[in-house]
Amino acid sequence: MENQSLNVHELHLIFKIEQENFLYNKGNELNINMMGCVFMEKLLYVTANPKGLEKSKGLQIGEAFLEAFHQDCPDVEIKKMDLFTLDFAQMDAELVSARGKLAGYGYTLEQLTEVEREKIQKMHDLANEFISFDYFVFVSPVWNLSSPAVLKAFLDNLFIAGKTFTHTPTGPKGLLKNKKAIHIQTRGGLYAGTPMEELESGDRYLKIALRFLGIEVMDTVIAEGFDISLKRVPEILAAGKEKAILAAKEMAKGIAVQVY
């Protein structure tokens, strides 16, 4: 059979992309429980902090968010994803090569090396899982003006033409519509309202990336100054939890529906 190059649409079919927000009408298929929340909605809780809940102020604030969210919408499925323990594809030589061969050089999937196929499949598997969720919560600290590198590496797996975004005559367009995300970020120093504010790039990049993919992004929950005064740590932590609780209830409003 004559060898034909793959275009974006054909690659889309090879990996059996199933974007739930385009495959069903939520208004017809979702059920409503007695609490006024919608069944089948899913929230992905992504953390990028290796310290663990006991030592991490950010993870403690994140748990406050989850508790408040679950209280308002107990039937929403919540999955936790720790990026420091998750096995996912890295943008190394084989993966970059596989992406280039499929997207620009007319290779078929079968023409890739075995390692390239494994890594590109792992990338698509993670992206498929990600797009199956409706709501996202990212929790990360500021490390050296940005987020931990593992968060950037994770996001690299989500940029797949034909699956999470598409090219149009007017530029790229995100495909992950009707989804909402929020970032909970902790900072040792003080950034807001200071010359340091424009130097912070972790929260800024995350929001840019998510919006590029078409996801609506809520205002970030920020708790900062933990390293400035140890005496104020309990106060800063408590204020961060309060902000997270309010944000969780705001996100839950998008899920809850009025039952008549």
DSSP conformation letters of 124-165: HHHHHHHHT-SEEEEEEE-BTTB--HHHHHHHHTT--BTTTE
Residue 179 contacts residue 215 (beta carbons within 8 Å): yes
| Length of the chain (residues) | 260
Tokens read off for 200: 């912070």
User: What's the pLDDT score for residue 256?
Assistant: 56
Burial 172-211 (b: 16+ CB within 10 A, else e): eebbbeebbbbbbbbbeeebeeeeeeeebebbbebbebbe
User: What's the pLDDT score for residue 16?
Assistant: 40
User: What's the pLDDT score for residue 100?
Assistant: 93
| Strand 165-168, strand 171-174: pairing | antiparallel
Burial 41-55 (b: 16+ CB within 10 A, else e): bebbbbbbbeeeeee
d(CA 85, CA 235) in angstroms, rounded, equals: 31
The torsion of the CA quartet 89, 94, 99, 101, rounded to 10 degrees, works out to -160
Low-confidence ranges of the chain (pLDDT < 50): 1-36, 38, 257-260
Closest of 220, 148, 149, 141 to residue 188, by C-alpha: 141
Residue 119 contacts residue 157 (beta carbons within 8 Å): no
Domain 8-253 CATH (choose: 3.40.50.450, 3.40.1190.20, 3.10.450.50, 3.40.50.360): 3.40.50.360
Give the ranges where 213-253 is alpha helix by DSSP (H).
Answer: 233-253
Residue ranges of the domains in the chain? 8-253
User: What's the pLDDT score for residue 57?
Assistant: 98
User: What's the pLDDT score for residue 49?
Assistant: 98
DSSP summary character for residue 218 = P
pLDDT in tens, 150-204: 999 999 999 999 999 999 999 999 999 999 999 999 999 999 999 999 999 999 9
Residue 47 contacts residue 80 (beta carbons within 8 Å): yes
pTM for this prediction: 0.84
Tokens read off for 164: 């999470």
Half-sphere exposure of 75 (CA within 13 A, CB side): 15
d(CA 225, CA 193) in angstroms, rounded, equals: 13
Sign of the torsion angle spanned by Cα atoms 239, 190, 155, 180: positive
User: What's the pLDDT score for residue 40?
Assistant: 76
